[in-house]
Amino acid sequence: MVFTLSPYLPITPSLSHQIAEEPLKIDQVIKGIKRDELLKLTQELIRVPSVRCEDRGGEGKVALFVARHLEEMGLDVVVEEVEPGSPNVIGILQGQGEGSCLMFECHTDVVTEGDPSEWKYDPYEGKLIGNRIYGRGACDTKGNLAAALKAVEAICRSGVPFKGKILLGILVDEEGLMRGVKHFIRHGWANHVNAAIICEPVDNHLCITQKGALRVELITTGKMSHGAMPLAGFNPIPPMVSILQKIKHLEEEEIERLGKDSFLGYPSITPTVLQAPVKGEPQLNVVPYQCRALLDIRTIPGQSHEALKKQLEDILKEEERVVCESLRSGSLREIREILEKGLSKGISFEAQLNIFEDRPWTKTSKEEPIVQAVAKAYQSITGGEPVYDGVPGATDGTFLTAWAGIPIVTIGAGKRMVPHQKDEWVSIEDLCLTAKLYAASALEFLTR
């Protein structure tokens, strides 16, 4: 790679000395990033399957492989078990003297390969075809993990001085409940991190915002009965339908109020699961006891999760109040009939709300030093301007910002639509660019 000064950078006489020195350092480091080594490491990582299982982890083997690699690089390495079989790996490269701490965050877990016979190539072979490496995790995010390791290794080998330190946080369970990053924060690792680069497949766009998410369960409870005598029970399905209609209305109000975010699009409240009965066989002639719905809520900057939770609670409370009032007063024709027949005994209605995951949206200002450092690195390496963008889902970065106040940038190789599909792949050329961007970003951030 021959370094050329970006044509977009204005060089004023006062800045020329400074700019002339920086590219030399960056050039010296990125020369050490070798395509073949990056390819080999990506393949090695893919060849250690790390699909997470709820009861026995799954990232253990690949985490230990990474830990050994970091030790060989000469980093200080800590392996911390989050759950049995699921350890976080933390590697630290010390710079010279006091300064900031830059974190590279990657995850070791991958999602299931599904039916391997559906794949063109073995999902764990890491096959190279033309310019592409195929395999589960190639894109999300073992390729980017390899790029981060090779970037730090190149900095280490080059001997180019920098201040502060680089922390590699190679965490578990990003695809699940993000227990790895939560453990990392709870154990104090995030306390001294000044900024983080989240290594995820986003077409090497410079992502400065991420959607938030709420995972919600709704349960309506009535009374089971024979389908031929529905009035002997109480059907929990119609109140659930009414609740979901009101929630649809709430979604429309939020879209109206906030409009379209330029990077993230519209907010959404999507019912993804609807079940009745919740337990046992569904049968046509049985009025179920309970009905359950799951909501996948995605939020954008400007929305308050607390306000949304309150609005959902109010919708459920109101439905419960109206239904219970009808049951008590016998105002409905059917209810009068029930009361007359003396069948109302034990009939009640309840609506419950359970929020089991809350991931706030994030937004990092373009003025933040980490955003400026990555943008400058992008200009230095490519000679062009970065494409600013947003991440449609939550990442481990969500919690680094929400719980620890760390400014984040998400950037990495890989097409956005490729993760979690069969025949997952990543371009080796894109990974090379990513490794150079990571190395240059670290130098920009830690030598400024």
Q: Tell me the residue type at 339.
A: L
Q: Minimum Å distance from CB 105 to Zn ion?
A: 10
Binding segment toward Zn ion, per CB under 5 A, in 136-144, 149-157, 238-246, 403-411:
136-144
Which of 254, 396 has the CB closer to Zn ion? 396
3-state secondary structure of 159: coil
Q: Which helix (H) or strand (E) holds 77?
A: strand 76-83
Q: Minimum Å distance from CB 130 to Zn ion?
A: 24
Cα separations in angstroms, 414 against 141, 170, 283, 382: 9, 19, 46, 17
Tell me the two tokens of residue 180. Answer: 């790895």
Distance between CA 181 and CA 261 in Å, rounded?
Answer: 27
Which of 200, 254 has the CB closer to Zn ion? 200
Q: Minimum Å distance from CB 442 to Zn ion?
A: 20
Which of 100, 141 has the CB closer to Zn ion? 141
Q: Tell me the residue type at 23.
A: P
Site membership for Zn ion, residue 140 (CB under 5 A): yes
Binding segment toward Zn ion, per CB under 5 A, in 19-27, 141-149, 241-249, 274-282:
141-149
Q: Minimum Å distance from CB 45 to Zn ion?
A: 13
Binding segment toward Zn ion, per CB under 5 A, in 62-70, 81-89, 139-147, 223-231:
139-147
Q: Are 260 and 266 in contact (CB under 8 A)?
A: yes
Distance between CA 1 and CA 194 in Å, rounded?
Answer: 30
Q: Are 225 and 338 in contact (CB under 8 A)?
A: no
First to last CA, the chain: 23
Q: Torsion angle of alpha carbons 105, 407, 418, 183, nearest 10°?
A: 40
- Which residues contact residue 102 at a Cβ distance below 8 angstroms, ignoring those fewer than 6 apart? 164, 165, 166, 167, 193, 194, 195, 196, 197, 370, 442, 445, 446
Size of the site for Zn ion (CB under 5 A): 3
Cα separations in angstroms, 126 against 71, 110, 122: 24, 14, 8
Which of 137, 164 has the CB closer to Zn ion? 137
Q: Minimum Å distance from CB 385 to Zn ion?
A: 26
Which of 243, 413 has the CB closer to Zn ion? 413
Which of 141, 401 has the CB closer to Zn ion? 141
Q: Minimum Å distance from CB 135 to Zn ion?
A: 14
Binding segment toward Zn ion, per CB under 5 A, in 8-16, 19-27, 133-141, 406-414:
133-141
∠ CA 157-160-161 to the nearest 5 degrees?
125
Question: What number of residues does the chain have?
Answer: 448
Which of 141, 225 has the CB closer to Zn ion? 141
User: Residues 6, 50, 86, 141: which binds Zn ion (CB under 5 A)?
Assistant: 141
Q: Minimum Å distance from CB 201 to Zn ion?
A: 7
Site membership for Zn ion, residue 396 (CB under 5 A): no
Could you tell me which of 9, 88, 33, 80 has the C-alpha nearest to residue 442?
A: 33
Q: Minimum Å distance from CB 143 to Zn ion?
A: 11
Site membership for Zn ion, residue 319 (CB under 5 A): no
E strands along 195-325, which residues? 195-198, 206-210, 212-221, 225-226, 268-275, 286-287, 290-299
Residues 199-258 contacting Zn ion, CB under 5 A: 200
Binding segment toward Zn ion, per CB under 5 A, in 137-145, 244-252, 400-408, 421-429:
137-145
Binding segment toward Zn ion, per CB under 5 A, in 45-53, 197-205, 228-236, 292-300:
197-205
Which of 30, 185 has the CB closer to Zn ion? 185
Question: Would you tell me which residues interact with Zn ion (CB under 5 A)?
Answer: 140-141, 200
